[in-house]
Structure 1
Amino acid sequence: MSERRSPRSRDAYAEFQTLQTRWNDNDQFGHLYNVTYHELFDEAMNRSLGARGMLNHRSGAPIQVVVENGCTYFSEVSYPDLLQVGLRVAAMGNSSIRLEMGLFREGEDRESAQAHFVLVTVDSRTHRPTPTPADQRKALEQLTL
């Protein structure tokens, strides 16, 4: 088994997306369902990529698809918490991108959960891997520290 990750602080991330928890996100124990964490991370990632023009599959430009993800939990969050998800690009290859994210309660400096998503750039029509275009690489560089 690998060594457990430690929580990061806000300064480990380049950008933040604010998300509101919902009543139906809570399980019978009063904290968020595990799948909800993944949904929140996915929403923050898609907002960030969408703002950079990288999710328009109808444009003909290459798009990114998730090929791997994972989450480590540090402390509970629940409704009605207002959350900020920090994002950063940890690594960029020829056609792959590793995004790392941290989920923070409003006003807290230590993340409650940490996630990673590995994306592969694919042709929007064939869905075959292709090099990440220069304009998309430049847009993603805004998320590097």
Structure 2
Amino acid sequence: MTDREPPRLRAAYAAFEGLQTRWTDNDQYGHIYNATYYTLFDEAMTRALAAIGLPDPAPGKPILVVVENGCTFFRELSYPDALTVGLSVTRLGRASIRVEMGMFRDEDQDEAARAYFTLVTVDATTRRPLPTPPDDRARLAALMPAGARPAQVGAVAG
């Protein structure tokens, strides 16, 4: 058995997005297919970022690309579970952002799965990393967990 962090509670997250499982999400064993978790987490992250105006779709504005992700499973989920995905920005470097998410069934208080996505701010044309603009950093800081200070997040190199 590995030493891994136990499931987190909803209070660990700063923002929440509701999602509904679909019949096609289940695999032959009657639970959500593991790759589908990534799709659901990505959907929740995209919605949360769009709610704060990121990325800015204006021409010439930087975009965010996923460079790494991972998922830990704690309990099975299946259709017709209603889900809530909690989301927090846990690291805000010069160009990189780490978003951690917990997936909750219905009104459960402890997560059934946890994922992280590392994003990098890049030039929309060249796809080369560049510093996250200050106004984007401020919007991302609003997604930090309760009690975290923006100075802590901004101090991490990226």
Structure 1, unmatched stretches of 5+, are none
55-64 or 81-90: bigger deviation: 55-64
**1:128 and 1:52 mapped to 2: Cα distance?**
23
Partner of 2:93: 93
**2:55 and 2:134 mapped to 1: Cα distance?**
16
Partner of 1:76: 76
Letter in 2 for 1:63: I
Partner of 1:4: 4
Partner of 1:122: 122
Letter in 2 for 1:61: K
Equivalent residues in 2 for 1:47-86 (5 A)?
47-86=47-86
Identical-pair percentage: 58
Following TM superposition, by how much is the alpha carbon of 1:80 offset from its aligned partner in structure 2, in angstroms?
0.4
Structure 2, unmatched stretches of 5+, are 146-158
Partner of 1:16: 16
**1:38 and 1:23 mapped to 2: Cα distance?**
17
Following TM superposition, by how much is the alpha carbon of 1:54 offset from its aligned partner in structure 2, in angstroms?
1.6
CA contact (8 A) 1:26 1:33 kept: yes
Equivalent residues in 2 for 1:102-117 (5 A)?
102-117=102-117
CA deviation profile, 1:79-131 (whole Å, cap 9, x unmatched): 00000000001111000000000000111000000000000000111110000
**2:100 and 2:137 mapped to 1: Cα distance?**
16
TM-score using structure 1 length: 0.95
Following TM superposition, by how much is the alpha carbon of 1:61 offset from its aligned partner in structure 2, in angstroms?
1.1
**4+ runs deviating over 2 angstroms:** 55-59
Following TM superposition, by how much is the alpha carbon of 1:52 offset from its aligned partner in structure 2, in angstroms?
2.0
Following TM superposition, by how much is the alpha carbon of 1:49 offset from its aligned partner in structure 2, in angstroms?
1.2
**1:80 and 1:60 mapped to 2: Cα distance?**
42
TM-align CA RMSD:
1.4
Indicate whether 1:39 and 2:43 are aligned: no
**2:128 and 2:84 mapped to 1: Cα distance?**
33
Letter in 2 for 1:87: L
Indicate whether 1:25 and 2:25 are aligned: yes
